[in-house]
Amino acid sequence: MEQVRGVLNYLDETTEKPVTYTYEPPLGVPARSGRTVKHEVPVIDGRAIAGQLSLDVQGFLLAPHASVVRNFYDEGEVKRVYYPEMERLVREITGAARVLTFDHNVRNGSKEMRAKLGVREPVRFAHNDYTLKSGPQRVRELYGDAQAERLLKHRYVFINVWRPIRGPVEQSPLAVCDARSMKQDDFVATDLVYRDRTGEVYSVRHSPEHRWYYFSRMRPDEVLLLKCFDSDPGRTRYTAHSAFEDPATPPAAAPRESIEARTIAFFAPAGD
């Protein structure tokens, strides 16, 4: 399989719990605590094995999907049109009884366009979006304690759906790590501070065992599904991921533009 040499940012060894702010932190407080270390690693082009991938094995898969959304920078259109599209897609792929799309991020590699559009930059740090603590916590925040307790009795899975909104992607492609190459000790719980609440994500320590993949020149009619939390400990639970710099990127490559939708798939038995 073809591969490139990419540089990924990992969390260095630390004795204190790292903290990441989602907004401009107080004066003198760093936006991210914990030292970052760079590692050059092989990143395999997964297109040759795309048909063999599974959310429950590797933790990610590539799927064709054409959206009817005309403007992904229009938050109202995304919530009205794209959220139901993603719910249908995740239901079809996973067989879940119900799916909720509850959040999304639009990212743009151009600093000028981020300022103009009010969107975020690609995340260049190996991480996973939920932890053993924050997975169930997020269900409670979304549904309230009473309904959440009923939902938490059955299997549920957080799945991110990542899509280029301009393609093919040449700059800052998304790398994903084969879950079979990772151990629980590779993940470090990290506070994610919002203005109104504090969540928790996993930062990732480097291991030479990690096997990273990407999908070359992804198009807007393709999506990458990533499992970010599974309540079933007998299945793949997390998928570490990060943007990375491909050394083969053309000098005049267009900045990456993408959207990730966050969903929860619920697997309650029939009649529940």
d(CA 222, CA 56): 20
Q: List pLDDT tens digits, range 108-143.
A: 999 999 999 999 999 999 999 999 999 999 999 999
| Beta-strand relationship, 36-45 and 212-214 | parallel
CA distances from 180 to 39, 67, 88, 176, 237 (A): 20, 31, 28, 12, 10
Domain 3-266 belongs to what topology? Jelly Rolls (2.60.120)
Q: Give the pLDDT confidence score for residue 272 in this predicted structure.
A: 57
Region 181-196: what's the mean pLDDT? 94
Tokens of 130: 């939920």
Q: Strand runs (DSSP E) across the chain, as ranges?
A: 3-11, 19-21, 36-45, 60-64, 98-108, 127-128, 156-164, 174-177, 187-193, 198-204, 212-214, 222-230, 241-243, 257-266
**pTM of the entire structure?**
0.94
Q: List pLDDT tens digits, range 224-256.
A: 999 999 999 999 999 999 999 888 888 899 999
Domain boundaries, the chain: 3-266
Q: List pLDDT tens digits, range 10-59.
A: 999 877 899 988 888 888 888 888 889 999 999 999 999 999 999 999 99
d(CA 108, CA 121): 5
Q: List pLDDT tens digits, range 201-228.
A: 999 999 999 999 999 999 999 999 999 9
Closest CA to 173 of 140, 222, 207: 222
